[in-house]
Amino acid sequence: MSVTVKFFASLKEQLGCDGATVEIGEVATAADIWLQATGGKPMPPNILVSINLEYCDRNCPVKPGDEVGFFPPVTGG
């Protein structure tokens, strides 16, 4: 089963990629998804994580079909 991954802003530029579809097993966290989507790069400490459009911890479990977002600190307003 697959998970949709999205990268934003400076992170997207650093990775040279705005997203990916990765295959996961039955048990995976957002951090596992990151490793799979980036080919094993370490996740920078300030990166924020969302699952299905809601903020979550990088150790949150991910289910097949989920959309996982990774992005730098937000700077709107």
Partner 1 sequence: MRIELRDTPFDPWGELAAHEQAQVGLTGQFGACATFVGSLRDLNLGDEVHGMTLEHYPGMTERELGRICTEAAGRWELLDQLVIHRVGAIEPGEPIVLVAAWSRHRREAFEACRALMEALKSRAPFWKKEHLADGERWVDGNTAGY
Chain residues binding partner 1 by CB under 8 A are 6, 8-10, 48, 50, 53-55, 69, 71-77
- For residue 53, the tally of other CB atoms under 10 A from its CB is 7
Percentage helix, strand, coil, to 5, in the chain?
20, 30, 45
Shortest CB 53 distance to partner 1, Å? 4
Q: For residues 25 and 73, which CB has a smaller minimum distance to partner 1 in the complex?
A: 73
Shortest CB 31 distance to partner 1, Å? 19
Shortest CB 18 distance to partner 1, Å? 10
- Contact at 8 Å (CB) between 37 and 3? no
